[in-house]
């Protein structure tokens, strides 16, 4: 696909069955599920030995973490070894007050960041050194143990050399297929930083 058109187009991978939306769901939900089904097929091709990356993008609250979680769970259900990190939000009264980080391989979690101290301040959050170290260990471990790596998410902190950056770079050096969640404004910067192919498919989500 040309660089200017990286939306997912229908792809097929015989090693992974398709998944269709349940009846009764709205049009927007069905479109989202169709995109994820196409993404799953593309990831099936990567598991057959094709190097590459899948980017999941969308604004805050659009479901990037949910999509990454769904894809990793489906891949594992088909026997794929999936590792990496996913960062679910911590909500209080419907308001985001922080994030946790979960090791995809083990299910273990640690606090990652909070709107309140203590921690290293970056943007509107205070980041836990222990949570960051935990995430980087999970990513480093994944380079030797898994077939495909999920990284939710790669943001400004990583582009500045902090956060998950050491683990992300270790995974990239290992040449493993990637599922990356990235905010829309950072796709080009993250792609350049990691040297991703210009035709890396993108799943674009909306709230």
pLDDT confidence tier of residue 29, bands split at 50, 70 and 90: low
pLDDT digits (tens, 9 = 90+) for 138-178: 999 999 999 999 999 999 999 999 999 999 999 999 999 99
Residues 203 and 36: beta-carbon distance below 8 Å: yes
List the domain range (segments joined by +) for residue 139.
Answer: 27-88+99-109+128-204
Let me know if residue 191 belongs to a domain: yes
pLDDT at position 54, please? 94
Rounded to the nearest integer, the mean pLDDT of the chain is 85
Let me know if residue 163 belongs to a domain: yes
Question: Residue 194 belongs to a domain with what CATH number?
Answer: 3.40.50
pLDDT digits (tens, 9 = 90+) for 75-114: 999 999 999 999 999 999 999 999 999 999 999 999 999 9
DSSP state of 147: S
Give CA angle at 46 (43, 49), nearest 5°.
160
Let me know if residue 63 belongs to a domain: yes
In sequence order, the 6+-apart residues with CB closer than 8 A to the CB of 28 are: 206
Number of compact structural domains in the chain: 1
**Max Cα distance, the chain (Å):** 49
pLDDT at position 130, please? 98
**How many Cα neighbours within 13 Å face the side chain of 116?**
3
Let me know if residue 122 belongs to a domain: no
Let me know if residue 118 belongs to a domain: no
């Amino acid at each position: 696909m040309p660089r200017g058109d990286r939306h997912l187009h229908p792809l097929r991978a015989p090693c992974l069955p398709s998944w269709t939306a349940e009846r009764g769901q709205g049009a927007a939900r069905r479109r989202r599920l169709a995109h994820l089904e196409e993404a799953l097929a593309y990831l099936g091709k990567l598991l057959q030995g094709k190097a590459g990356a899948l980017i999941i993008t969308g604004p805050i609250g659009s479901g990037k973490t949910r999509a990454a979680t769904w894809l990793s769970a489906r891949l594992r259900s088909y026997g794929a070894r999936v590792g990496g990190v996913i960062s679910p939000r911590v909500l209080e009264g419907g308001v985001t007050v922080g994030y946790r980080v979960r090791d995809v391989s083990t299910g273990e979690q640690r606090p990652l960041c909070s709107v309140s101290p203590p921690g290293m301040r970056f943007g509107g959050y205070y980041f836990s050194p222990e949570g960051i170290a935990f995430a980087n260990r999970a990513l480093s471990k994944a380079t030797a143990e898994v077939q495909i790596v999920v990284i939710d998410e790669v943001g400004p902190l990583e582009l500045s050399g902090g956060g998950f950056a050491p683990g992300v770079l270790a995974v990239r050096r290992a040449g493993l297929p990637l599922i990356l969640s990235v905010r829309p404004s950072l796709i080009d910067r993250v792609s350049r930083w990691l040297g991703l192919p210009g035709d890396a498919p993108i799943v674009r989500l909306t709230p």
